[in-house]
A and B are shown apart, each in its own frame.
Chain A
Amino acid sequence: MSVLPVLVIVAAIIALWYAGAVVMNSTWTLDQAARQGTDPSLSEIVADTMAQERPLLPAPHQVAAELWEVTAEKKITSKRSLIYHGFITLKTTLFGFVTGAVFGVALALGIVHSRTLEQSVMPWAIISQTIPIVALAPMIIVLSNAVGIENREVPKTIIAAYLSFFPVLVSMIKGLRSPDAMQIDLLRTYNASGGQIFSKLRLPASLPYFFASMKVAIAASLVGTIVGELPTGAIQGLGARMLIGSQFGEPMIMWTALFAAAILAALLVIAVGGLERLALRLMGEGAR
């Protein structure tokens, strides 16, 4: 695999970003100049757009420097450390992911075994995903408060699980039903029991589908966690940092939190991908 195309794309994105920063931030630069009655040259304008304290769109190097400062240079116990906030978000993401995956798999098992369950549950599962999570999240938080759940992790976990169970459910149903009629017939010629058909055929056949859905589910769980952190009045987590950044007009905080979330998502997907490769190699497909 050649790294050149990848680098070209990355370079293009960064170039676009710089151009965007210049265009968007120059308004403020020109306003300031007009107020002070100065007439800055083009190079002065460009230099200023990349060094503002509260830019509309921070330049890449500003975000990188801020990201470095709030991760590597701050103590993890500091309330400004993104490692600290990222860890809070990561914890809820993983809880929500596991809860959602277990729920999704369990529901898929039920649906594959019972037509009634499929007809009664599947429409609701689909409807559940059509409701915007930003509308639902505050209600989940209010409700869990109303029933006396003090722990703020709980509603966040519920929201994360709510978003991540669905891809798992859909994929597992497809995976468990993936063996064709011939495969089932073959096991019937051995007079295999229902349990054996499940454990020897349906379950292993569904694993590739399972892992494909895991990648979607873990990313969805992270989104759910961040959305859950926004309206809680939470003071912890990447979502809370984004909210604070936007409420106090601190774009740097917002953008670094955003990037931290993106990096966290990438790491999680890579981790799941690693697990997938490991599992598929154990199943003899890794070398293909």
Chain B
Amino acid sequence: MKKPVIDAQNVDLTFETNDGPVHALSDVNLQINKGDFVSFIGPSGCGKTTFLRCVAGLETPTGGQLTVNGLSPDEARKARSYGYVFQAAGLYPWRTIAGNIKLPLEIMGFSKAEQDKRVERVLDLVELSGFARKYPWQLSGGMQQRASIARAIAFDADILLMDEPFGALDEIVRDHLNEQLLDLWARTEKTIGFVTHSIPEAVYLSTKIVVMSPRPGRITDVIDSPLPKERPLSIRDSAEFLEIAHRVREGLRAGHAYD
């Protein structure tokens, strides 16, 4: 059996705050295999973002075992094994789109020629060719977020972590970006961890849906999606799709997520 790309065993995380300890993650067990598209869904405070940040080495679990590519998250971060997309695009206003995508490449010491080649390639992947020399403020919110995805895949990380990347966008734009993201995933074969609070988004995108609930943040259900890899937007009206969405909703209810 192949080793999972991301392996969490009994992961615990408690934040010490002024109001006493906050149990952000409790006994999280999860295996993510290469090429999986895993969505984390749950209400605010369920620890979905915290778990993603643990995987990224931006937070350190206070208990349990967590490995990324067989390394500790911090080693994996230092080995630059993942690209991270935040809720806000966070492009530098003083850099062009190409300049923004070059940011990680400059930091990682790619040659100038290689940087240009990669910028062209990833801009094509997110359908932003021709926008290389524009500044972020000249782009719409959806385009900015696509540019930030391009920035996250410009170097050779085979894991892509996305923290509610489309949360701030309207539904029409979001549908379009979801479609594009699936296409990108199929073409690059990356392993994707995707945090969302939208049930249709989670079901439409994922091969595996992790349902979480708060206080303390924990996993209440893990659903392996039976949907095929090829997914037109119309699949969202199929019986299978609705069945999975129903199970997700049940999982959220079971975790008292609606309280």
- Min Cβ gap B145→A in Å is 14
Flag whether B94 is at the interface (Cβ < 8 A): yes
Flag whether B204 is at the interface (Cβ < 8 A): no
Closest to B133 in A: A284
Name the contact of B84 in the complex, choosing from A186, A204, A207, A285 (C-beta under 8 A): A186
Given contact pairs A182-B88, A288-B137, A190 touches B93 in the complex (Cβ within 8 A): no
Given contact pairs A196-B107, A200-B106, A185 touches B86 in the complex (Cβ within 8 A): yes
Q: For chain A, which range describes its interface: under 10, 10 to 19, 20 to 34, or 35 or more residues?
A: 20 to 34
Flag whether B77 is at the interface (Cβ < 8 A): yes
Given contact pairs A191-B77, A191-B78, A185 touches B93 in the complex (Cβ within 8 A): no
Determine the chain B residues whose CB is within 8 A of the CB of A192 once the complex forms. 107
Task: Assess the B135–A284 pair: CB atoms within 8 A.
Answer: yes
Name the contact of A188 in the complex, choosing from B77, B92, B95 (C-beta under 8 A): B77
Task: Assess the A182–B58 pair: CB atoms within 8 A.
Answer: no
Closest to B58 in A: A185
- CB contacts under 8 Å to A, within B82-135, are 82-84, 86, 88, 90, 92-96, 103-104, 106-108, 135
Closest to A189 in B: B84
Task: Assess the A187–B94 pair: CB atoms within 8 A.
Answer: no
- Min Cβ gap A23→B in Å is 53
Determine the chain A residues whose CB is within 8 A of the CB of B77 once the complex forms. 188-189, 191
Query: Once the chains are docked, how many angstroms separate the CA of A186 from the CA of B96?
Result: 17
Given contact pairs A182-B86, A183-B90, A190 touches B104 in the complex (Cβ within 8 A): yes
- Min Cβ gap B159→A in Å is 11
- Min Cβ gap B6→A in Å is 15
Additional pairs, 6, CB under 8 Å, beyond known A186-B84, A190-B104: A183-B90, A186-B90, A190-B155, A201-B92, A283-B94, A284-B135
Flag whether B80 is at the interface (Cβ < 8 A): yes
Flag whether B56 is at the interface (Cβ < 8 A): yes
Task: Assess the B94–A186 pair: CB atoms within 8 A.
Answer: no
Task: Assess the A190–B107 pair: CB atoms within 8 A.
Answer: yes
- 14 CB-based A-B contacts, threshold 8 Å: A182-B90, A185-B86, A187-B107, A188-B57, A189-B77, A189-B83, A190-B108, A192-B107, A200-B106, A207-B94, A283-B94, A284-B95, A284-B96, A284-B135
Given contact pairs A186-B84, A288-B137, A200 touches B103 in the complex (Cβ within 8 A): yes
Determine the chain A residues whose CB is within 8 A of the CB of B155 once the complex forms. 190
Name the contact of B94 in the complex, choosing from A189, A191, A204 (C-beta under 8 A): A204
Query: Once the chains are docked, how many angstroms separate the CA of A18 from the CA of B103?
Result: 60
Query: Once the chains are docked, how many angstroms separate the CA of A201 from the CA of B58?
Result: 18
Query: Once the chains are docked, how many angstroms separate the CA of A284 from the CA of B137?
Result: 9
Determine the chain B residues whose CB is within 8 A of the CB of A183 once the complex forms. 90
Task: Assess the B58–A189 pair: CB atoms within 8 A.
Answer: yes
- Min Cβ gap A258→B in Å is 40
Query: Once the chains are docked, how many angstroms separate the CA of A201 from the CA of B90?
Result: 12
- CB contacts under 8 Å to A, within B10-47, are none
Determine the chain A residues whose CB is within 8 A of the CB of B103 once the complex forms. 190, 200
Determine the chain B residues whose CB is within 8 A of the CB of A283 once the complex forms. 93-94
Closest to B103 in A: A200
- CB contacts under 8 Å to B, within A159-216, are 182-183, 185-192, 196, 200-201, 204, 207
Determine the chain B residues whose CB is within 8 A of the CB of A285 once the complex forms. 93-94, 135, 137
Determine the chain B residues whose CB is within 8 A of the CB of A288 once the complex forms. 137
Query: Once the chains are docked, how many angstroms separate the CA of A188 from the CA of B76?
Result: 12
Query: Once the chains are docked, how many angstroms separate the CA of A287 from the CA of B90?
Result: 20
A42-57: contact bitstring with B at CB < 8 Å (1 yes, 0 no)?
0000000000000000
Task: Assess the A188–B94 pair: CB atoms within 8 A.
Answer: no
Closest to B105 in A: A190
Determine the chain B residues whose CB is within 8 A of the CB of A204 once the complex forms. 92, 94
Determine the chain B residues whose CB is within 8 A of the CB of A182 once the complex forms. 86, 88, 90
Given contact pairs A182-B90, A204-B92, A204-B94, A189 touches B107 in the complex (Cβ within 8 A): no
Query: Once the chains are docked, how many angstroms separate the CA of A283 from the CA of B92?
Result: 10
Task: Assess the A186–B95 pair: CB atoms within 8 A.
Answer: no
- CB contacts under 8 Å to A, within B28-76, are 56-58
Query: Once the chains are docked, how many angstroms separate the CA of A56 from the CA of B9?
Result: 87
Q: Which 7 A-B pairs have the closest CB atoms?
A: A283-B94, A284-B135, A189-B84, A190-B104, A192-B107, A190-B107, A191-B78
